[in-house]
Amino acid sequence: MPRPRASENESWGSLWLERLRQDLVFGGRVLRRAPVFTSVAILCLALGIGANAVVLSWTEGIVRHPFPLVRDQERLVAIAGTAKGASGLDEMSWPDFMDLARGTTAFETFFVSKITGGTLTGGERALRLVGQLVTANYFDAVGVRPVLGRGFLPGEDVGRSAHPVAVISYGLWQDHYGGSASIVGTTINFNGIPHTIIGVTPKGFLGTFVGYAMQFWVPASQQAVFDQSYRLDDRSARWVEGFARLKPGVTLAAAQAQINGVAATLETEFPNADRGRAVRIFPIEDNPFDNAKVLKPMLRVAAVVAALVLVIVCANIANLLLVRALARRGELSIRRALGASGARLMRQLVTEGLILALSGTALGIVLAYASRNMLGLFFAPRGGATLVFAADFQWPVLTTTVAIGLLSTLLFALAPALNVTRADLASAMRAAAPGAVATGSRGRVRASLVILQMCLSVVLLVGTGLVVMSLQRLLAANPGFAAANVTMTGVDLVAAGYDTARAHRFQDDLLARLTTIGGASSAALARSLPFATRPYDNGPIAVDGYEPAKDEQPTADYNQVSPGYFKTLGIPLLAGRDFTSADADTSAPIAIVTHALADRYWPNASPIGRRLRLRERWMRVVGIVGDIKYRSLDESPGMLLYIPLAQQRTSYVLLFLRTSASKAATGIAPAIVGAVHAVDPAVSPYEIITMREQVNRSTAAQRVLVTLLAAFSSLALILAAMGLYGMISYMVSQSARELGLRMALGASPAQLLGLVMSSGLRLAMFGVALGVIIALATTRLLGTILYDVSPHDPYILAAVAVVMTGAATLACLLPAWRATRLDPMRALRL
């Protein structure tokens, strides 16, 4: 067959474009004639498509490409340590990390980025900033070039406080320095130590820690300035959050094999520090160090829920379009009689659906973009720094969203178009007769769409109920300490220029003044805070009488606390004694251990009077206290011990104040500030919050999921009720003649009400029953994020069934009531 000439192709293409133009113009005109239907359809689609778009943007910006402006993130891996017999992952030591970098060939580069905080001094007021300790190759490794100045030079990350230089963020440069072009070379004071500003990062670069927009970067040589202890030469000090970039073509498995070899060598060469330890690498979407690990399960569930909502939206719009197409049977029948083919009519109906889909997609993208920063609203500022979760609205998200919108066209427009246009001309003309009742396949399609909406709504409501109950039980869980009526804050004395001796006197004076505050019952100081971003310090331990396995290195977290800490936080003293003022730096080193640690290493004996060694320091156990949760509310008890603050002082301390119930929530903050200023007016405390607020902050990810599920399931319930209402209303309008005849033959209004109600409720009950069955099969997928709740909780299932039945009853009641108000004579004349 000869190929058509170019002019023929051009003619055919022009004809196709002209027909498309005609369809779009006619479809737009038809939709404008029904503004209520069009507006409702577009809004519903926008909500469904927008929900998917915003979840996609969060997933892309938090999990898949979490670091804005960083190059080749698909080849980035996070590096974490593991210990035999310990649950979870931890950081690595600087010497071990450097040995990994030297001993492997599967990676282009290794780099460190450890989150830290610093106090900016030297201005009118001190500012608490969030930043990162990094290796000298950091900016080269992430592929980010400063817009002003330079990054770090090789060797600037080595030596104790040897290179006091800093790179600041674009935001800090603009907000604090007014965007001065002469900023490079000036001095900035971090924690009282002058640092020379050597560069400014580009706008939009947030660093490499999901949740925070970093404001400064300093080389790892400044680690002692920010942590008050030098750890770069301590192989047992695990603080490094390490990353590496795979070479092109290297698989994760091959890289892990090399890492395993180096880790085994380190274990052999340094048994005191690395016995029983291994190293694991993770793709960047599984990064164990930042907030992404908490948000990832939530985003996974939210993606599934958003997809279900879109299916419900599509089913609802399909039902509305089917009813609308049936109402236009007269018009369609006349067009068929005048020679229009079924395919031509179907194309017109699909085009109208396409207009709705494109309009809904555009509005959905606008709504999603406007909601892109909503996640940050659920996370309270930490230490004065606002959390930032960068949604990614680049081309992958936009093209996927448009594809979802176009696919939804097929879901909600094609089925109604096929259903209406496949009928023969004679049937269509008969169906166009007034008062005819649509039965057969069209009725079954509408019924199926309603059942689908009811079914999926049940699944969403069950999931919402389970997550809400899980959050309630999580918040009610006992963390091991009494959070009520305890207020806390922190002070950084290094930033205020204190030396060690002066800092000790300040802490003692402050503790004495806190106890004099009206309504205060006790006060205490400590180094670490439960549920904080900064983890508890940890180190290897040795226990008298305990012989570890050949490949086991016992480790424990520890906290430095003052006398009265356990009383202030309500941690029970199970045996032995508390710390006292006599436990000074000149007395014998002592420790108090938690019940879990005592049970692990002294299972059949009392540890009181026994010795344990933390790193190289031997201490005698003087007490046992109850276990607490300090990483997350759903964790198992960890290995934790306490040492007197006076025997291991720190210049950054947290202060805790227990007060009466009337003083805990309000009125105590000014008194705390006054107590601090009474000791030294130049020192100001950081954020003052209650311990209950601190505990609640640890559940931010769960609260995000509860909010999203509640919003999505409420929307699904409304749409399902709307779908059922629309179907029953249409059925009543189309069955007016039959209903009028029944009334003429003596049927009572109550009988008609029951007849119509039963028709709708049968569909609803079938959808509810099917939804419960599907929920029983699928909610087990929520098991990993539920706390103390069974995925098959019978109370939740029963409550959802009652709610759905109630919604269905209300949806059917108004159309059924209208049926009882029909005039029989008028209905029979239809």
How many other C-beta atoms lie within 10 A of the C-beta of residue 22? 12
CA distances from 670 to 111, 483, 652, 688 (A): 43, 20, 21, 10
pLDDT score at 439: 45
pLDDT score at 458: 93
Q: Which of 176-180, 478-482, 620-624, 814-818 has the lowest mean pLDDT?
A: 814-818
pLDDT class for 428, splitting at 50, 70, 90? very low
Contact 212, 62 (CB under 8 A): no
Furthest-apart CA pair in the chain: how many Å? 106
The span from the CA of 830 to the CA of 418, in Å, is 28
Question: For the chain, what is the mean pLDDT?
Answer: 84
The span from the CA of 436 to the CA of 732, in Å, is 11
pLDDT score at 779: 83
The pairing of beta strand 617-625 with beta strand 590-594: parallel
The single residue listed with the structure tokens 């919050």 is 689
User: What is 538-598 written as a DSSP string?
Assistant: EEEEEETT----TT---EEEEEEE-TTHHHHHT--EEEE----TT--TTSPPEEEEEHHHH
Give the mean model confidence (pLDDT) for residues 783-807. 89
411 has a pLDDT exceeding 70:
yes
Residue type, 173: W
Contact 448, 316 (CB under 8 A): no
The pair of three-digit structure tokens given for residue 268, joined into one six-digit string:
């052999």
SS (H, E, C) 169-204: CHHHHHHHHCCCCCCCCCEEEECCEEEEEEEECCCC
> What 3-state DSSP class applies to 161?
coil
740-772 pLDDT per residue, tens? 677 766 677 787 777 888 888 888 899 999 999
The span from the CA of 163 to the CA of 186, in Å, is 15
90 DSSP assignment: B
pLDDT score at 735: 67
811 has a pLDDT exceeding 70:
yes
Q: Which residue has the higher pLDDT, 569 or 677?
A: 569
pLDDT score at 328: 64
* Gyration radius (Cα) of the chain, Å: 34
665 has a pLDDT exceeding 60:
no
The single residue listed with the structure tokens 């929900």 is 51
The pairing of beta strand 555-561 with beta strand 640-644: parallel
Residue-level length of the chain: 830
The pair of three-digit structure tokens given for residue 197, joined into one six-digit string:
């500003």
Q: Which residue has the higher pLDDT, 322 or 627?
A: 627
For the chain, percent helix, then strand, then coil, each to nearest 5?
50, 15, 30
The span from the CA of 83 to the CA of 597, in Å, is 16
Residue type, 372: R
112-138 pLDDT per residue, tens? 999 888 877 654 455 778 899 999 999
The span from the CA of 821 to the CA of 233, in Å, is 88
234: exposed, middle or buried (C-beta count within 10 Å: 0-12, 13-18, 19+)?
middle
The span from the CA of 672 to the CA of 684, in Å, is 10
Closest alpha carbon to 228 in 492, 24, 47, 36:
492
The span from the CA of 804 to the CA of 777, in Å, is 19
CA distances from 329 to 423, 426, 500, 727 (A): 11, 12, 88, 17
Q: Which of 223-237, 330-344, 670-684 has the lowest mean pLDDT?
A: 330-344
How far is Cα of residue 410 from the mean position of the Cα atoms in its chain? 32
pTM over 0.85? The answer is: no
How many other C-beta atoms lie within 10 A of the C-beta of residue 490? 20
